[in-house]
């Protein structure tokens, strides 16, 4: 199915995390242009509102289709507040796009919650958000989650005994671990989910990959396609741009999914 074959999305409600720049902003734009109501997440209220205003002013998006939300993913209590607000205001959510992400810093950095910052922002915050939004995503059949992952997940391993990589830190290894975790999490059976490598795009994360990439708009088309209910998906599937391919072997192992969920519940303070 080509981009031109995608269906209009009126009546659909989609939350896009990290929607103030790059692929997230372009994903929000393309979804809103198709008629979806987009819950546009930013790190702060000001950033989220500015992104919404930008789409209205530069692209002509109907302001009624854009709802700004804020949460700093380096603080898990803000993630919880975000989820509570979304469920209260939108008890039915069609799609959650887990897109927010950062490049791991050069120096080992731990959040106030005690987690390595890339692991928390790129994976743990999305894990917590998805779990808390499960009632809204499953209120009607067809709810889905799209995890914006990375081909670098293939180079990763999860340090089960030291997920915060306190003993041996490498920014590339820390980032790759967060992407592998996000890819593994797509196979969780609670909500139908897929993960996608949108391509190497000219965003703040590009230095991790290469010196040049495609535009964020091109990368976003690979995300938006998976938000369309006309595109059938299988739980746990992984896409490299528009093509479904096999992820790293660990991402298909049931025991790895269960072990990751147990670790994530511990690190975000959830009880089974």
Name the residues annotated as catalytic: 175
Residue pair 227/95 in contact by the 8 Å Cβ criterion: yes
Residue pair 190/132 in contact by the 8 Å Cβ criterion: no
Q: State the Cα–Cα distance between residues 121 and 74, nearest whole angstrom.
A: 6
Q: State the Cα–Cα distance between residues 69 and 55, nearest whole angstrom.
A: 15
Q: State the Cα–Cα distance between residues 48 and 171, nearest whole angstrom.
A: 28
Q: Which pair of structure tokens corresponds to residue 243?
A: 């093509």
CA distances from 132 to 40, 83, 127, 180 (A): 17, 6, 9, 21
Residue pair 74/3 in contact by the 8 Å Cβ criterion: no
How would you classify the pairing of strands 238-240 and 243-245?
antiparallel
Residue pair 92/138 in contact by the 8 Å Cβ criterion: no
Q: State the Cα–Cα distance between residues 111 and 118, nearest whole angstrom.
A: 9
| 154 CB-near residues (< 8 Å, 6+ apart) | 247, 248
Q: State the Cα–Cα distance between residues 13 and 216, nearest whole angstrom.
A: 22
């Amino acid at each position: 199915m080509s981009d031109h074959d995608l269906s209009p999305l009126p009546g659909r409600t989609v939350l896009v995390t990290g929607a103030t720049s790059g692929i997230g902003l372009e994903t929000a734009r393309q979804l809103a242009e198709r008629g979806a109501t987009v819950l546009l997440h930013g790190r702060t209220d000001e950033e989220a509102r500015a992104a919404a205003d930008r789409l209205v002013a530069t692209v002509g998006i109907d302001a009624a289709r854009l709802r700004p939300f804020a949460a700093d993913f380096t603080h898990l209590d803000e993630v919880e507040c975000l989820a509570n607000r979304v469920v209260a205001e939108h008890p039915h959510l069609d799609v959650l796009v887990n897109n927010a992400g950062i490049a791991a810093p050069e120096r080992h950095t731990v959040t106030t919650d005690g987690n390595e910052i890339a692991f928390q922002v790129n994976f743990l915050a999305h894990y917590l958000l998805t779990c808390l939004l499960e009632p809204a995503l499953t209120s009607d059949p067809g709810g889905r989650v799209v995890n914006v992952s990375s081909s670098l997940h293939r180079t990763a391993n999860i340090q089960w005994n030291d997920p915060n990589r306190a003993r041996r830190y490498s920014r590339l290894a820390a980032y790759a671990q967060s992407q592998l975790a996000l890819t593994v999490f797509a196979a969780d059976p609670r909500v139908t989910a897929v993960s996608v490598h949108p391509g190497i795009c000219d965003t703040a994360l590009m230095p991790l990959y290469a010196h040049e990439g495609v535009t964020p708009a091109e990368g976003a088309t690979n995300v938006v396609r998976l938000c369309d209910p006309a595109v059938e998906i299988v739980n746990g599937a992984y896409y490299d741009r528009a093509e479904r391919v096999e992820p790293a072997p660990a991402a298909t192992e049931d025991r790895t999914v269960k072990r990751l969920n147990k670790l994530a519940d511990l690190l975000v303070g959830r009880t089974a």
